[in-house]
Structure 1
């Protein structure tokens, strides 16, 4: 299965450490790098990529609005 890097939005130190521990518990390779703003961190994880595109959300669609 193909894997790609997913990068979270900049987060503070506590959130970054929590994300890293959650990824480590699931045996997923993750890394933490300093963002452009030195108060925040970027957390990246190597996640499996799906074979198909995600389905379109039809929650608020109705036939008469189409």
Structure 2
């Protein structure tokens, strides 16, 4: 089982950050509403970021098992 995000170490300050697009933000909000939450939480935002990165770079999904 992978380490939960809140127990992982912080990334280095000089690492690239991913800015969510309006479409990804809407997707995260919709995912939160489907789960019964008013607002997206960390897990929704992380899933939206992963989805956005995989859409922009289709070869990236080949790196994950």
TM-score of the superposition, structure 2-length normalised? 0.32
Q: Whose helix fraction is larger, Structure 1's or Structure 2's?
A: 2
TM-score of the superposition, structure 1-length normalised? 0.31
Q: Which has the higher contact order (CA 8 A, sep 6+)?
A: 1
Q: Whose strand fraction is larger, Structure 1's or Structure 2's?
A: 1
